[in-house]
C-alpha cells in the first residue's frame, strides 16, 4: 500500500482513484479520505465534476475567485484533484498507470462505459490483482434496468420511498436530500473496507456491484417487513408512525413539537404531565397496539390537551418527565444548537490560498485513530503536477504491492 499519512488514521496507506462525479461515488470517496485514504479524484479538464456548477450558492475564495458550488464541497473534502481526458489515448493510459499504483477504484459510469478506455475491472485486474473496484450505478450490473442511468429522485420513486413519504392523499414526496445517493455512498465504503480486508488475506481483489435501487429498497427497514409480514403495502402517513402512537408532530400554541412515545410507561408519564387523567385511563390507549388502532381519536385528544402549551414549556415538561420530545429546527438552528456546537459538527478548512471552506465533519469519532481532515475540497486540477510526478517515481520502483 501507499505511504501512510501523518497521525495514522484508520485507512492510512490506502490509495483510491475516484472516477466518479455528482454524489454517490464522491460521497464514498470523501469518507474514505476522512478515514485517511489518499483519494485522487480524476476530473475532465473542461469543467470537472458536474456539481462544481450546481449553484448558487458558490464558495468565494479569499481573492474573490469562484471556488465551485457548495454542493461540490459537500462531497469532495480531503481529496486531490487531477485533470485527465480519459477519452484520449494518453489520458486513458495515465489513468491505467495510476490505477496500477492504487488499492481501490470508485467509478459511477453507466454499465460497460469504461471498457472502451481499458478502465473496466477485467482490463485492470491483470496489472493489479488485488484491486478493489467499486462500481456504482443506478440499477446494478444485472437485470433489465442495468443499462439505465440512475438519478436519486427517480430511484426514490421506483424503490418505494416516495410511496410512504408525505401526507395521506397528497402528492408523494421525496426526501429533502438525495438519500439514495448518500446511503449508496456509505454502503460502498463498508463494501470497500470488507473487500480490502479480503484482499489483504488472499491477495485477490474483486469488483463491487453497488446499485442505488438496491440501496434505496434496502433502507426501507421496518416498512419492508411491515409489507412482507402483512401483505399490505404501507402508505403515506405524513409524520405519523405506522407502528407506534403517539409518535408524530403536534401543534402547540406557538408552533409545533415532536412527541415520540415509544412505550406504555412513557405514555402514562405524558398523560400525567398533561393532566389528562381520562386519557391515561382510557382502555383504548393502554397499550401501543391499541393506541395504534385508535390513533385518530388519540391524536384528537392530545391536540386538545396541548393547545394551550408553548413549545418551550412542553419541551421542558417532557424532558423533566423522561418523555421523548424535540423541537423542529431549521438547518440554521441545528448548527446553532448547543449540542451541535459541543460536538464540533461544523469545520472550516483552509486551503493553500488561505480561503476558508466550510464543511461538516463525518459522524464518526475514533479516539485511538482519529479521522483525517487535512484539506478542503480541491480546486479543479489542483494536484495534477504533484500526482503525476509521484506516478513517475512509483513507476520507477516497479509493480505496486
Host H or E run for residue 348: strand 346-350
Which residues are the active-site residues? 181
Identify which of 71, 72, 75 has the alpha carbon closest to the alpha carbon of residue 27.
75
Q: Which three cell numbers stand for residue 128?
A: 493489479
Strand partners, 58: 69
Q: What is the DSSP string of 191-257?
A: HHHHHHHHHHHHS--EEEEEEHHHHHHHTTTHHHHHHHHHS------TT--SS-SSEEEEEETTEEE
Grid-cell match 470523501, residue found? 30
Strand locations in 72-218, DSSP E?
80-83, 104-107, 132-137, 206-211
**Do 292 and 245 form a contact (C-beta atoms < 8 A)?**
yes
Burial of residue 389 (number of CB atoms within 10 Å: 0-12, 13-18, 19+): exposed
Q: Please give the torsion angle defined by the CA atoms of residues 6, 352, 373 and 378, in that order, rounded to the nearest 10 degrees.
A: -110
**Sign (positive or negative) of CA dihedral 232, 234, 237, 243:** positive
> Contacts for 172-179 with beta carbons within 8 Å, 24 or more apart?
172/236, 178/23, 178/152, 178/153, 179/152, 179/216, 179/219
Amino acid at each position: 500500500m501507499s505511504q501512510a499519512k501523518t497521525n495514522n488514521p484508520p485507512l492510512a496507506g490506502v490509495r483510491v482513484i475516484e472516477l466518479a462525479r455528482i454524489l454517490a461515488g464522491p460521497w464514498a470517496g470523501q469518507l474514505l479520505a476522512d478515514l485517511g485514504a489518499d483519494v485522487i479524484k480524476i476530473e475532465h479538464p473542461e469543467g470537472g465534476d458536474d456539481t462544481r456548477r450546481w449553484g448558487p450558492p458558490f464558495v468565494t475564495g479569499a481573492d474573490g475567485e469562484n471556488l465551485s458550488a457548495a454542493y461540490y464541497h459537500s462531497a469532495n473534502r480531503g481529496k486531490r484533484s487531477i485533470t485527465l481526458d480519459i477519452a484520449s489515448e494518453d489520458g486513458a493510459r495515465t489513468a491505467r498507470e495510476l490505477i496500477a499504483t492504487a488499492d481501490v477504484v470508485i467509478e459511477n459510469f453507466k454499465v460497460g462505459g469504461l471498457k472502451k478506455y481499458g478502465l473496466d475491472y477485467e482490463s485492470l485486474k491483470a496489472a493489479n490483482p488485488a484491486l478493489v473496484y467499486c462500481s456504482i450505478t443506478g440499477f446494478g450490473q444485472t437485470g433489465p434496468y442495468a443499462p439505465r442511468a440512475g438519478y436519486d429522485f427517480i430511484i426514490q420513486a421506483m424503490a418505494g420511498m416516495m410511496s410512504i413519504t408525505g401526507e395521506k392523499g397528497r402528492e408523494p414526496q421525496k426526501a429533502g436530500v438525495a438519500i439514495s445517493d448518500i446511503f449508496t455512498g456509505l454502503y460502498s465504503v463498508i463494501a470497500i473496507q470488507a473487500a480490502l480486508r479480503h484482499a489483504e488475506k488472499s491477495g485477490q481483489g474483486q469488483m463491487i456491484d453497488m446499485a442505488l435501487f438496491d440501496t434505496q429498497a434496502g433502507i426501507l427497514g421496518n416498512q419492508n417487513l411491515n409489507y412482507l409480514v402483512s401483505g399490505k403495502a404501507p402508505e403515506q402517513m405524513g409524520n405519523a408512525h405506522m407502528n407506534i402512537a403517539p409518535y408524530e408532530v403536534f401543534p402547540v400554541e406557538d408552533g409545533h413539537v415532536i412527541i415520540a412515545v415509544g412505550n406504555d410507561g412513557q405514555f402514562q408519564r405524558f398523560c400525567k404531565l398533561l393532566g389528562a387523567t381520562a386519557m391515561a385511563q382510557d382502555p383504548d390507549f393502554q397499550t401501543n397496539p391499541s393506541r395504534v388502532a385508535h390513533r385518530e381519536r388519540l391524536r384528537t385528544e392530545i391536540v386538545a390537551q396541548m393547545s394551550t402549551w408553548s413549545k418551550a414549556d412542553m419541551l421542558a415538561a417532557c424532558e423533566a418527565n423522561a418523555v421523548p420530545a424535540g423541537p423542529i429546527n431549521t438547518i440554521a438552528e441545528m448548527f446553532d444548537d448547543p449540542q451541535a456546537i459541543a460536538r464540533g459538527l461544523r469545520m472550516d478548512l483552509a486551503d493553500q490560498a488561505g480561503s476558508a471552506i466550510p464543511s461538516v465533519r463525518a459522524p464518526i469519532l475514533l479516539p485511538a485513530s482519529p479521522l483525517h481532515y487535512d484539506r478542503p475540497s480541491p480546486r479543479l486540477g489542483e494536484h495534477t503536477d504533484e500526482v503525476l510526478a509521484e506516478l513517475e517515481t512509483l513507476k520507477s520502483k516497479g509493480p505496486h504491492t
